[in-house]
Amino acid sequence: MLSIRSARASDVQSIAQIDVETWRATYPGMLPDDLLTALDPGQRARQWSRFITHRPDDAMLAFDERERVLGFGSCGIQRETTLPYAGEIFTLYVGPDFQGQGVGRQLLLALFQRMIRGGLSSAMLWVLAANPSRFFYERVGGRRIADRQLDMGPFGVPAVAYGWPDLADAIHRQARARSRID
Ligand SMILES: CC(C)(COP(=O)(O)OP(=O)(O)OC[C@H]1O[C@@H](n2cnc3c(N)ncnc32)[C@H](O)[C@@H]1OP(=O)(O)O)[C@@H](O)C(=O)NCCC(=O)NCCS
């Protein structure tokens, strides 16, 4: 059974492992190999540790009945103010072995709920234009709202933004979509 909760300091190694594994499984051909080779789980763990220490409620994690971490995501106030969306999904990664089983949708909805609790009623995110995962965001009701080059170190990579203007409505619609399938 899938459960979701806020991340804890003791989760950072699991999060960093999925972070690096998922980048290496997803981004070959989209990001330079050197960048993917250089990914360091220890460094990622330190970054996640800082994030979770300062913002414990803004990182959510999905785990199963054996306490295996299946995926994680993070959110907060939109980093840019150019788009009329209050919140932003910063990361959403489901481990390669656990994709396509509904974990990503549940995590995204948990992050939406978190943002609503924090007073953010709309949200957006950036995804690489070449990443087929962007069709997931369309499936869960995201509207394509902007295009730009994302800075990845010295590189510019085409990216697209998806937005949800009303998070409460998005949660409601996804609940209805799920109940039709069940
Ligand atoms: C994108 C990601 C978070 C989605 O999570 P997931 O657990 O695999 O997706 P779910 O099983 O919850 O899928 C929900 C719905 O989206 C659909 N979907 C998922 N991935 C899809 C894709 N690549 N293309 C089209 N539809 C997709 C599913 O079929 C499902 O449809 P349904 O409404 O018929 O049930 C996950 O696959 C992932 O981490 N991918 C690699 C990393 C990545 O690119 N992350 C995003 C960075 S911005």
Structure tokens at 140: 């869960």
For the chain, what is the mean pLDDT? 94
CA 72 to chain CA mean position, Å: 7
pTM: 0.95
Cβ of 139 closer than 6 Å to ligand 1, yes or no, is yes
Cβ of 136 closer than 6 Å to ligand 1, yes or no, is yes
| Domains and their CATH numbers in the chain | 3-181 (3.40.630.30)
Nearest CA to ligand 1 atom 31: 139
* Ligand 1 atom at minimal distance to the Cα of residue 98: 7
Structure tokens at 2: 């899938």
pLDDT band for position 181 (50/70/90)? Answer: very low
pLDDT in tens, 41-99: 999 999 999 999 999 999 999 999 999 999 999 999 999 888 999 999 999 999 999 99
Instruction: Identify the pLDDT of residue 80.
Output: 87
Cα(51) to centroid(ligand 1), Å: 24
What gap in Å lies between CA 58 and CA 74, rounded to an integer? 5
What letter would DSSP give residue 82?
A: S
Task: Name the residue type at position 18.
Answer: I
